[in-house]
Amino acid sequence: MVNDVDVLVLGGGISGLASAWWLGREGLHVEVWERDEHIGGKIQTRKAAGYTTERSATLVLNFRHEVDALLRESGLDRAKLPRAAAGNRYVVQGGRMVAVPTRARDLVRSELWSWNAKLRLLTAPLVPRKRRDAESVAEFISRRFGREMFDKAMEPYVAGVLACDPDQAEARAVLPRLTALEDRYGSLALGVFCRILQRKATGRTTESFSFAGGMSTLVATLANRPGVRVLTGTSAVELVPASRGWRVLSADGRSVRAARVVLSTPAGDAARLVRPLESETSRLLDGIRYAPLTVVHIGLRRNDVRHPLDGTGVLFPRSERLSPLGCIWTSALLPERAPEGSALLDCYLGGARQPEAAAWDDARSVDHCLRAMDPLLGIDGTPEMARLDRHAHGLPLYHGRHVARIRAIKAGLAQRPGLHLAANFAGGVSVRDRIVSGRAMAKEIIASLSATSARPQTVFGKRVSGLLTAVGADSAT
């Protein structure tokens, strides 16, 4: 059986679903193929014993108008669950937690850094722009702010939140906004000042939230967009160039003809699909590595935790050996996630720093996290709930010359008109990044379809009229 669609999206994770939602918004007929039996990729909310846990992303941190638009138009803004007021952000130093200063006036009084480090930080605006190609995060932060700032603040963030090795991760890929300030203004201080003025002019603030029902609410809403059809248990095995588009074959014998195909699969799967078409592009895709991650959810009676849990959580620098990457105090941010009188801690193991942790059994993983958190939080009792989520391919590693690699991959795909890329190894791993990237991908596809709309029978005679008007109207938003 042959079905004609405007766009076929391969991969039903947040990248693919966000792309499909934006395309469906413009009236295109979109089909999404997801290999697994559930959609959303690693995003999945689970409820048991009064606790609500997330397999991966817990919150959306947003400062982009594209996300605002999606939430407003989908009705998700009514389901937003704001996190509790921000508290301290801790890192471990010398076996105890120290709050990271979030305001300039607190920097001088902070015990996190030595006086030499504070003075070095104050001179950061005077450091000239002088960066080598593909500079690592470690090199960039050490050059701009000093080694102590890197060791005690940035290293635990990159390793704990992004699962990367900061000595190998490319600064432009991992810290694109920060490096862009240096590129544009030469001075980070001037760049930050200009950004502050821009935020004041637009009135845009950063907000952090989840959804009633958990992050799965976002996934379900994206998948239910009119014009979007989602098929689970369906994976592509071959891409065949065809007149006015592509013919895509699935493992179960399905055949679909599409004007455009969006690759939203893991890098290895995308590499296999394009190998017969573009061998060099396939090789570049195959070179993208992933870090394993284990999320350890621990539920405790609140009276058994002596610490006030007055913050977002704690990160561990690599100098603190035999520790998790970090721990989020989820019930402090979202009290609804734990039963009344209980606390929910989400600890993270693995990443590029400790990939061997992926092989630990459940008992060892939970014990490891409790041993690390006990002296910091004062845990008196035993958990009333413990649940683990394992991701063999947790997060893509933006290591080496990652920006150049992605640029070359996109250039290779451009040799095959109608093939597009929307995946978390290109353009950021956060939910916010995936929604923004999905919008950019949709605009790219709509523009390409509109450019060929004057030709007869270009998109199977479907929904071509009005696309130019839609693109023009959207460009003003």
* Nearest residue to 262 (alpha-carbon basis) of 1, 27, 34: 34
Structural tokens at position 199: 């935020």
Instruction: Report all structural domains of the chain as residue ranges with CATH numbers, in order of start.
Output: 2-42+215-288+400-474 (3.50.50.60), 45-62+81-85+290-396 (3.90.660.20), 102-202 (1.10.3110.10)
SS3 415: coil
- Residue 139 burial by Cβ neighbours in a 10 Å radius (0-12, 13-18, 19+): middle
* pLDDT tens for each residue of 289-329: 999 999 999 999 999 999 999 999 999 999 887 789 999 99
The amino acid present at 53, given as its one-letter code, is T
Structural tokens at position 156: 């635990």
List strand residue ranges (DSSP E) for 159-310, in order: 207-211, 228-232, 236-242, 245-250, 255-263, 290-301
Q: Write out the chain's pLDDT in tens, 477 residues.
A: 445 899 999 999 999 999 999 999 999 999 999 999 999 999 999 999 999 999 999 999 999 999 999 999 999 999 999 999 868 899 999 899 999 887 766 777 788 877 787 777 777 666 766 667 789 999 999 988 889 989 998 999 999 999 999 999 999 999 998 888 776 655 554 444 445 444 444 456 789 999 999 999 999 999 999 999 999 999 999 999 998 899 999 999 999 999 999 999 999 999 999 999 999 999 999 999 999 999 999 999 999 999 999 999 999 999 887 789 999 999 999 999 999 999 999 999 999 999 999 999 999 999 999 999 999 999 998 999 999 999 999 999 999 999 999 999 999 999 999 999 999 999 999 999 999 999 999 999 998 887 765 433 334 334 433 333 333 333 333
Phi and psi angles of residue 448, each rounded to the nearest 5 degrees, phi first: -70, -35
* Nearest residue to 413 (alpha-carbon basis) of 235, 267, 255, 253: 267
* Distance from C-alpha of 329 to C-alpha of 309, rounded to nearest angstrom: 7
The amino acid present at 109, given as its one-letter code, is R
81 contacts: CB under 8 Å, gap ≥ 6: 209, 210, 211, 212, 334, 336
